[in-house]
Amino acid sequence: MIASSLSAERVAPVADPRPSVTFIPADAAGVARIVIDRPDDRVNAIDLRLMQDLAAAIAASRDARPRGLVIASGKADQFVAGADLSLLRGTSQADIEKASRSMQRVLDDLAALPFVTVAAINGPALGGGLEIALACDYRIAADSPNVRVGLTETRLGLIPAAGGTQRLPRLIGLPRALDMILTARQLAPKRALRAGVVDEIVHPAVLLRAATDHAMRDAKRRSKGGATAIERAATNFAPARAFALRQARSRTLAETKGRYPAPLAAIDAVAIGLAKGIAAGLDAEARAFGELAVGETGRSLTALVMLTLRQRKAALEGLGKPRAIANVGVVGLGFMGSGIAQAAASSGLRVRARDRDAAAVAKGLSTIRELTTDAAKKGVFERREAARIVGRVSGGSDLAGFRGADLVIEAVFEEIATKRRVIAELEQVLRPEAVIASNTSALPISEIAREARSPERIVGMHFFSPVHKMPLIEVVRPAGADADAVATAVAAATLLGKTPIVVGDGPGFYTTRVLSTMIGEAFAMLAEGDSIEAIDRAMTSFGWPVGPLQLVDEVGLEVAGHAGETVSKARGLTAPSIVNALVAEGFKGKHKGGGFYRYDGRRRMPNPRVRELLGAPTHPAAGDIAERLTLTFVNEAARCLDEGVLRSPAEGDLGAVLGLGFPPFLGGPFRYADAERQRIVTALERLAASRGDRLAPTESLRSRRPFFSL
Ligand code: NAI
């Protein structure tokens, strides 16, 4: 039942005497209504009060015996966004299990009402929100971009715990239900209709009327286990079901490498329910939920979601006042610039873009159109909205139209001279209060801004690629930056739907610095004798999304090499020469002649030149590859905190997981360090003794003071 509640920041909500749920007796047509409207919350997150009030409203409706019942939200564009995550904090396994059983009982009562029940979904119905709707006979959704339905609990390392693992497969069939639960997918209205999760979509203005009509006309209904014969067989026919479940288990194991227990627990709860009946399934669901919620992975993932939610406010702490942003300029409409422009337009901002010539502008605009059409196809937004998004972007080869910009993001080549020239040109046309943000990956902002007339309004906004998928923006605050300008960049990042972290202006800032340091260590291990494949495989098995050497190939050897050199120089280390040696021979990356691997169509094999260039191994094969590289990362992250590049461990964890794919089940480098501090320090000391001082544990790791108060 727990989902991405947006109210995690409320630690102790002030008791509000108004009820969260109201029962409205039947109208002339005989249809009663239950209205969910938590008085102290924007999104109707389910807390204990809401649960009790819902139980009381259901009981009242049972007593009133209307002809039909509509369950609706009292808030505009919000149905029920899931459970209040603060429910989980500091609670015992037994209590969490009990809460799940209570909510299951409330929804069992709803499902058992002797008259027709209809959910009117006017906004996000996620986690427990969708479980409420699933306990109704019918679900009618508004055809609105605000509507999303999904059981998103596995994203938090949990499983649906208010009957979701039982009712969804019975409604839409086992295969589709497993897909929704295991991927935590959120469906837009049309997709939800196609999947059978909702029965009808209607114009938002007539949602209540349509739901009331259904409640008046329709009969109670029994779910059949899917729309097609094949789906129903996979749900109800034991051998077909066993096959589907076996496949789901093996796919999940391959994807999670056994590091994430929730998806497997969800499959088990679904399986038990379909084999032994809903009571047994609900029991399995509640037990697994309690176990997962107090388990390390569940706690790490939940903590990450809470940090992400809190960051919306926390990111602005200690900064100035953000200025309003309506118009954004983008200079350089290449790979990153077009993604940035598209993200800004998708968030409702008007975008004026500039590249060097008409051809480059046209190419950028066409990328923006493609990105937008793809997103519409995936149901991120409706087609009408897609046309509006594309219509918000215009471009040209000069700075015409930039005068009105509130924020300009430059994403031109990673060359200091080019970036300085762009800034000089911008300063000619921009209003004095406009903020200039550079999307550099590693160049210090103070260097980029050195010749500027007003350097204080220049900050960094480091996006990650691909922009439309990556949820992080690293806002770089150079010394002397105007606090309002930094705040404006942070607010812009949030407006773009991304999570901002604010970091100091060192070489590589935070993310490029920790990543380059870890990659540098991978090069050292290559030289010692570990193989390319062994290094990459060890890291992906450990839970990283891609191995470090494959990553270098994908980013491009010149870009990665440049970042590596910038970061090594700052730490007084010599950058490994292997990258330059490969570049000199024409190995510049995956799409540029190969790199650490050679590419043949979809096949990939290690490049034999790497070993030849490195010469004979310097050490016999070392110990645990993933541990050494991951600890290198953790150590550098801690050093960033010690040096003030990072403001907080929370931002360090968010940056690592959301920007760099640090294994989420560990919660981030700082949470991981808190969980295994002694072992990590000892391992780093051992590594430092055998492989060099660069690996010695940094001060805050040795200090034994936890980064988070747990
Ligand atoms: P890109 O080469 O795809 O795009 C650069 C664009 O800037 C080109 O369209 C080029 O025509 C245009 N341009 C160059 N000089 C210009 C000028 N004076 N005025 C107007 N337009 C000009 O490069 P990409 O990958 O988009 O990178 C851009 C910036 O983003 C770089 O600073 C890079 O370090 C940074 N970055 C790149 C990431 C990546 O994964 N590619 C990730 C994060 C940041």
| pLDDT tens string 265-295 | 999 999 999 999 999 999 999 999 999 999 9
| pLDDT tens string 494-523 | 999 999 999 999 889 999 999 999 999 999
**DSSP secondary structure letters along 3-56:** ---TTTT-SSPPP-SS-SEEEE---TTSEEEEEE--TT-SS--B-HHHHHHHHH
The answer to whether the beta carbons of residues 297 and 286 sit under 8 Å apart is no
Over residues 586-612, mean pLDDT: 94
Looking from the CA of residue 338, the nearest atom of ligand 1 is: 26
Looking from the CA of residue 336, the nearest atom of ligand 1 is: 26
Question: Residue 641 corresponds to which tokens in the numbers above?
Answer: 């905190």
Over residues 117-135, mean pLDDT: 98
Ligand 1: centre distance to CA 470 (Å): 17
pLDDT mean across residues, the chain: 94
Q: Which pLDDT does position 67 carry in this prediction?
A: 96
Q: Which pLDDT does position 621 carry in this prediction?
A: 66
pTM equals 0.91
E strands within 445-576?
458-463, 472-477, 499-504
Residue with tokens 């789901």: 248
Residue with tokens 């027709």: 116
Ligand 1: centre distance to CA 515 (Å): 20
Ligand 1: centre distance to CA 432 (Å): 25
CATH topology of domain 327-504: Rossmann fold (3.40.50)
Band of the pLDDT at 8, cuts 50, 70, 90?
Answer: very low
| pLDDT tens string 214-249 | 999 999 988 889 989 999 999 999 999 999 999 999
The Cα–Cα gap between 386 and 378 comes to 12
Ligand 1: centre distance to CA 341 (Å): 13
Q: Which residues are catalytic?
A: 474
Over residues 320-327, mean pLDDT: 97
Over residues 44-60, mean pLDDT: 96
Question: Residue 609 corresponds to which tokens in the numbers above?
Answer: 């030149």
Which residue, 161, 89, 98, is CA-closest to 131? 161
| pLDDT tens string 613-641 | 999 888 776 679 999 999 999 999 999 99
Percent of the chain with pLDDT over 90: 87
Number of neighbours of residue 227 by Cβ within 10 angstroms: 15
Looking from the CA of residue 463, the nearest atom of ligand 1 is: 43
Ligand 1: centre distance to CA 355 (Å): 10
Band of the pLDDT at 99, cuts 50, 70, 90?
Answer: very high
Looking from the CA of residue 465, the nearest atom of ligand 1 is: 40
Nearest residue (by CA) to ligand 1, atom 44, is 441
Ligand 1: centre distance to CA 607 (Å): 28
Beta bridge partners of 120: 140
The Cα–Cα gap between 589 and 551 comes to 9
Q: Pick the residue with more confidence: 568 or 343?
A: 343
Looking from the CA of residue 354, the nearest atom of ligand 1 is: 20
Band of the pLDDT at 15, cuts 50, 70, 90?
Answer: low
Ligand 1: centre distance to CA 448 (Å): 15
What phi and psi values does residue 160 have, to the nearest 5 degrees? Answer: -55, 140
Ligand 1: centre distance to CA 336 (Å): 6
For domain 21-303, which CATH number applies: 3.30.428.10, 3.65.10.10, 3.90.230.10, 3.90.226.10? 3.90.226.10
Which residue, 382, 105, 154, 363, is CA-closest to 270? 154
CATH 3.30.479.10 fits 507-710, yes or no: no
Q: What residues contact 699, with CB distance under 8 A and at least 6 apart?
A: 638, 642
Question: Residue 639 corresponds to which tokens in the numbers above?
Answer: 């050093």
The Cα–Cα gap between 549 and 94 comes to 45
- Fill in the amino acid letter for 263: P
Q: Which pLDDT does position 46 carry in this prediction?
A: 95
DSSP state of 2: -
Answer whether residue 11 shows pLDDT above 50: no
Q: Which residues line ligand 1 (CB under 6 A)?
A: 331-337, 354-356, 360, 411-414, 418, 421-422, 439-441, 463, 465
Hey, which of 330, 333, 336, 363 would you mutate to test ligand 1's pocket, going by the most ligand atoms within 8 Å of its Cβ? 336
The Cα–Cα gap between 416 and 526 comes to 31
Question: Residue 16 corresponds to which tokens in the numbers above?
Answer: 């509000």
Q: Which pLDDT does position 403 carry in this prediction?
A: 96
Residue ranges per structural domain of the chain:
21-303, 327-504, 507-710
Instruction: Tally helices (H) and strands (E) across the chain.
Output: 30, 18
SS (H, E, C) 344-413: HHHCCCEEEEECCCHHHHHHHHHHHHHHHHHHHHCCCCCHHHHHHHHHCEEEECCCCCCCCCCEEEECCC
| pLDDT tens string 465-505 | 999 999 999 999 999 999 999 999 999 999 999 999 999 99
Q: Which pLDDT does position 710 carry in this prediction?
A: 56
CA atoms within 13 A on the CB side of 313: 8
Ligand 1: centre distance to CA 559 (Å): 11
Secondary structure percentages of the chain, helix, strand, coil, to 5: 50, 15, 35
Which residue, 404, 413, 443, is CA-closest to 331? 413
Q: Do 21-303 and 507-710 share a fold?
A: no
Answer whether residue 5 shows pLDDT above 90: no
Ligand 1: centre distance to CA 412 (Å): 4
- Fill in the amino acid letter for 311: Q
Number of neighbours of residue 267 by Cβ within 10 angstroms: 23
Hey, which of 412, 447, 462, 510 would you mutate to test ligand 1's pocket, going by the most ligand atoms within 8 Å of its Cβ? 412
Looking from the CA of residue 414, the nearest atom of ligand 1 is: 32
The Cα–Cα gap between 639 and 219 comes to 64
CA atoms within 13 A on the CB side of 277: 2
Pairing between β-strand 21-24 and β-strand 31-36 as defined by DSSP bridges: antiparallel
Nearest residue (by CA) to ligand 1, atom 15, is 412
The helix (H) or strand (E) run that includes residue 539 is helix 532-542
Ligand 1: centre distance to CA 437 (Å): 13
Looking from the CA of residue 333, the nearest atom of ligand 1 is: 9
Beta bridge partners of 32: 69
What phi and psi values does residue 204 have, to the nearest 5 degrees? Answer: -50, -35
SS3 566: helix
Looking from the CA of residue 442, the nearest atom of ligand 1 is: 34
SS3 76: coil
Hey, which of 355, 469, 592, 658 would you mutate to test ligand 1's pocket, going by the most ligand atoms within 8 Å of its Cβ? 355
Looking from the CA of residue 412, the nearest atom of ligand 1 is: 7
